[in-house]
Amino acid sequence: MKTRALLIPWCLLVLASCSAQISIETEPFDVRVPVTSLLQPVYAELAIDLPDESVNTQDLDIVVEQVAARLTVVNPSSSLTLRTAMRLSFTGKATPDDPVFYTDLNLPTYYAQAAEILPSREFAPNTTTPLRLDSPALKQAIGRRRVWFIVSNTVVRGGLTPPQLPVEIRLEDIVFEALITKPFPGLGGALENAGL
């Protein structure tokens, strides 16, 4: 019986000195963003449903340690340099199974309010580029059921021969990940008041 009595306060002390950490990661998915004309961008709107652990957390006492998006950008063209950028939106029309494509002529009004998480960047022909995006705007996604990435693709340079259109940039293994900490401040105060 004495052993059991000593273990209870020891367990409480361990809880008081640490926090519960929740690691969140979505299932990886791929998308292809085509270009059908030179120097004119095409936009792909992609929907991501976040795991239950990150939804409806606004009223909880949590600390968002880190949020990031991981992906690999593939330019399969043998001669064309492609320019790509990405924004994060909390409004969208796409579903996880059905991306929506736009041009400059029919961009949705919410595009202007979407936060830039990947500034415009050029990807050379026949390249594969892993990226990790950790823009502060990504933290705003925590607590939401669904968010949208809006990706643009533009042909900016080519070789001497006319390009064969359409061309596409591939975004592979897109993953949204977060690390959330749940502190236990109340336990620490209770143990101090008890003289532990």
77-102 average pLDDT score: 92
pLDDT over 60 at 7, yes or no? no
Residue of 102, 85, 94 lying closest to 154 (CA atoms) = 85
pLDDT at position 32: 86
Q: Average pLDDT, whole number, for the chain?
A: 78
pLDDT over 60 at 190, yes or no? no
pLDDT tens profile 168-183: 889 999 898 888 777 6
pLDDT at position 185: 60
pLDDT tens profile 23-78: 878 888 888 888 766 778 899 999 988 877 655 555 456 677 788 999 999 999 88
Share of the chain above pLDDT 70, in %: 71
pLDDT at position 3: 36
Q: Which domains does the chain have, with CATH numbers?
A: 20-183 (2.60.120)
